[in-house]
Amino acid sequence: MISPIKVIASLHFTTIPNPKYFELKDRVLAKGSLSIPQDEMHDPHAYIADKYSTRTHESRVTNTHLISTREQWLTESDLVDYQREIRLSMDFDFKREPYNPRMVKTPYGDCLTYNTRPWETVEEGKLVREIFDAWRESHCMTTVELFDYFEDYYQLQLAKRHTSMRRQKAEDCGDIFIRLFITAYAQELYDITKEGTYIDLAKWLTDEGYPRKPSHFTNARKAEIHIYCVPYMKKAMKAVRLILSKFPDLSLTSFFKPEVLDKVMADLSG
């Protein structure tokens, strides 16, 4: 349904209920699978926009559908409507790679927007969609912070695919680097010169924003060694800089894949 009304800084829903953002464009409304309540029919676009901008991963809506031909046959029913509660699915489909996230102001409130570009390969697009489906079970990409959080999660999943390492709940790339460092420190790997006690190091990491206990170091003595598991991300680089400030001789070769290590070293020397 296309309205001839011109709007400024609005949300434009196209073939699926996921908006695009333009400064000036005819307003486009696609309801997708959503049913507009009768009391919202005076401005269905505002209803869809509100559902989009305020949604969470737990959001659900009541939808109206026609009974299927199969159900008609089996139950000897007439062609009637029926209602059911479904999960509100208005997330980006990742058919293209989103980048440059930012918040924009619209008549319906602040909204996340971003540019997109083609994926390098079809397989890459399929993989990110698979990873995003798992992530959105408990998250919803509605802010720049959540966009960055997913990017961190996605890059971490890619980096550790070749290993058996499991990401603990709420761990980001920086936490993973700290965990791998603790294992290396406890097992005296990668040219690390021990400095202080486990109690001292645990307190230092905790004070710097990475809560750890002495038991983390003790348990790491027998932990499995994982290599090439850290992606080049802001949170990972923050952790790297912290550790190097205390252990400047630490070799990063086993933490990053060779092509990623080049970016890391360039960043550290920049």
Structure tokens given for 39: 């009391």
For residue 249, what is the DSSP state?
Answer: T
Residue 110: CB partners within 8 Å, gap ≥ 6? 53, 103, 104
Q: What pLDDT was estimated at residue 6? A: 38
* Mean pLDDT in order along the chain per 10 residues (270 residues): 38 52 50 75 81 87 79 80 79 89 86 89 90 89 92 85 75 89 90 85 93 92 88 91 92 89 90
Write the pLDDT tens digit of every residue in 215-266: 999 999 888 888 888 889 889 999 999 999 999 988 999 999 888 899 999 9
Q: What pLDDT was estimated at residue 178? A: 93
Q: What pLDDT was estimated at residue 3? A: 39
Structure tokens given for 57: 């991963």
Comparing CA positions, the residue from 196, 262, 199, 190 lying closest to residue 226 is 190
Q: What pLDDT was estimated at residue 17? A: 56
For residue 25, what is the DSSP state?
Answer: E
Structure tokens given for 72: 């008609």
| pTM of the predicted protein model | 0.72
Under 8 Å between Cβ of 90 and 18: yes
**Helix residue ranges per DSSP H, the chain:** 44-53, 69-75, 122-135, 144-159, 173-186, 198-207, 214-220, 234-246, 258-269
Write the pLDDT tens digit of every residue in 191-209: 888 888 899 999 999 999 9
Q: What pLDDT was estimated at residue 194? A: 81
Place of tokens 């009637």: 80
Which burial class, exposed, middle or buried, applies to 161 when counting CB atoms under 10 A from its CB (0-12, 13-18, 19+)?
exposed
Q: What pLDDT was estimated at residue 217? A: 92
Under 8 Å between Cβ of 230 and 259: no
